[in-house]
Every structure is written in C-alpha cells, then in structure tokens.
Chain A
Amino acid sequence: ETGVTQTPRHLVMGMTNKKSLKCEQHLGHNAMYWYKQSAKKPLELMFVYSLEERVENNSVPSRFSPECPNSSHLFLHLHTLQPEDSALYLCASSQDHIGSGQFFGPGTRLTVL
C-alpha cells in the first residue's frame, strides 16, 4: 500500500451504533488530520495529531472521538451520531503540522440513518 489509505470506504449506521473509521499513512509523516466534507461547505478540520499528540480539536462534538496510537495510524470512533453527521470523512497526513503539504486518503462516505 502506498500513500494514505482509509477503511471502510462506505459506512451506513444507525444513530445508536458505534463504529470506527481507520486511516493509515505509508509516507513516514509525523502529522495526521481528520476532515469533514459536507455538500456546499468548505472542508472542516476536525482534529490534528502531531507525533501522536492531539494539537488541535476544532470544537468537535464528543460523539466523535479520535485516537492516534502511532504516527502511522489514526482512528475516528463514532457513537450516537446524528443524521447531519452524514458526510465524507477525509484523513490526511503531512511531514509536520505547521504548514507542510498535506496528502489525502480516498475518504469514508458515512450515512447516518
């Protein structure tokens, strides 16, 4: 595998379910990001991790819980989501979190029923 991978690619869940999104980067980068992309809105930065430490949490509801066990893996744990949380969730990585170019995964298309 090369670049940034995300699984699953598509996810449908009910509001009471618990699920997790996974991201893995094979670029040797030190920073990883979660973004939310909704129709007609700019990309929203959710979380930033640098060397496994969270450096940014953009007022994201607690029903989204990130986890970064090492610099290559990033998870987004989901529980009791709302229909408005349906979106494309994108993971990205970069060499550092202070402005180096970001490389994106293919995204997980999430639908909350």
Chain B
Amino acid sequence: KQEVTQIPAALSVPEGENLVLNCSFTDSAIYNLQWFRQDPGKGLTSLLLIQSSQREQTSGRLNASLDKSSGRSTLYIAASQPGDSATYLCAVANAGNNRKLIWGLGTSLAVNP
C-alpha cells in the first residue's frame, strides 16, 4: 500500500533563502508525482507534475526532482519570498489501472520578511 510522507511538517525561513521540501513514497511503481500549493482556507494550485520517466521539472523559481528508485522527490524553492508562504502538498499516482492520487500531509512554509 502506497504511503506518502512529507518532511518537515513545518518550516520557517527568512526571506531570500533557498529551501528544499521533501516527499518520500513507499512504492516506487508510480505513474507520476505532483506538487501542489495551498493557501490557508483555499483550494490547491498545481505547481509541477513529474512523469515517472522524468527526473525533474522546473517552473520559475521552483524545481522538482524525482528519484523513483529511492522513493523520493524534492521541491526546491530559490530565493524564497513572503508570498511563498503556504502549505506544499505532494501527491503520487500509482502505476497500474488505479491511478488515484495518494497524498502527503504537507509542509507548512512560512517565509519571514
């Protein structure tokens, strides 16, 4: 049974720092992995989707990597800004017929001015 873990649960950093959020999964047979952002009380915004055949995806200051064999993905945020403060969620779609997303609990990020 696939399980997704995100570490740390919460992170507080000063503005301008580069930071890494971690996501690990127990079953390496995945179809893809998505990173989402959620602002308090709001819905989710899709940030990056990495297919199982890919190693990384980039969008602006965000870079997500995927290492299937070790069951890990990282979300790298460069030059963090207060507007990056949010909860970041990782979700894995398993390979096979049932590709529903399995979710982590998220990392709550606070970037302080």
| Interface residues, chain A, with chain B CB atoms under 8 Å away | 4, 6, 40-43, 45, 48, 56, 88, 90, 92, 97-99, 101-107, 109
Residue in A closest to B44 when the chains form the complex, CB atoms: A104
B44 touches A42 (CB 8 A): no
Instruction: Provide the main secondary structure of the chain B interface.
Output: strand
Is B29's beta carbon under 8 Å from chain A? Answer: no
Give bound CA distance, A102 to B102, whole Å: 13
Given contacts A42-B4, A42-B104, A109-B41, contact A102 B46 (CB under 8 A): yes
| Interface residues, chain B, with chain A CB atoms under 8 Å away | 4, 31-32, 34, 36, 41-46, 49, 89, 91, 93, 97, 99-105
A101 touches B100 (CB 8 A): no
B43 touches A48 (CB 8 A): no
A90 touches B43 (CB 8 A): yes
Enumerate 20 A-B pairs (CB-CB under 8 Å) in ascending A order: A4-B43, A6-B43, A41-B105, A42-B104, A43-B89, A43-B101, A43-B103, A45-B100, A45-B101, A56-B100, A88-B41, A99-B32, A99-B99, A101-B32, A102-B34, A102-B46, A103-B46, A105-B43, A106-B42, A107-B43
How many residue-residue contacts, CB under 8 A, span A and B? 48
Between A42, A45, A48, the greatest number of chain B beta carbons within 10 A of the residue's beta carbon is seen for A42
B49 touches A101 (CB 8 A): yes
In angstroms, how far is the closest chain A Cβ from the Cβ of B107? Answer: 13
Chain B residues whose CB sits within 8 angstroms of the CB of A99 once the complex forms: 31-32, 93, 99
Chain B residues whose CB sits within 8 angstroms of the CB of A97 once the complex forms: 99
B105 touches A40 (CB 8 A): yes
In angstroms, how far is the closest chain A Cβ from the Cβ of B45? Answer: 7
In angstroms, how far is the closest chain A Cβ from the Cβ of B37? Answer: 10
Between A41, A43, A101, the greatest number of chain B beta carbons within 10 A of the residue's beta carbon is seen for A43
Q: Which listed residue, B4, B45, B102, touches A104 by the CB 8 Å rule? A: B45
Give bound CA distance, A48 to B41, whole Å: 23
Give bound CA distance, A56 to B97, whole Å: 12
Residue in A closest to B39 when the chains form the complex, CB atoms: A106
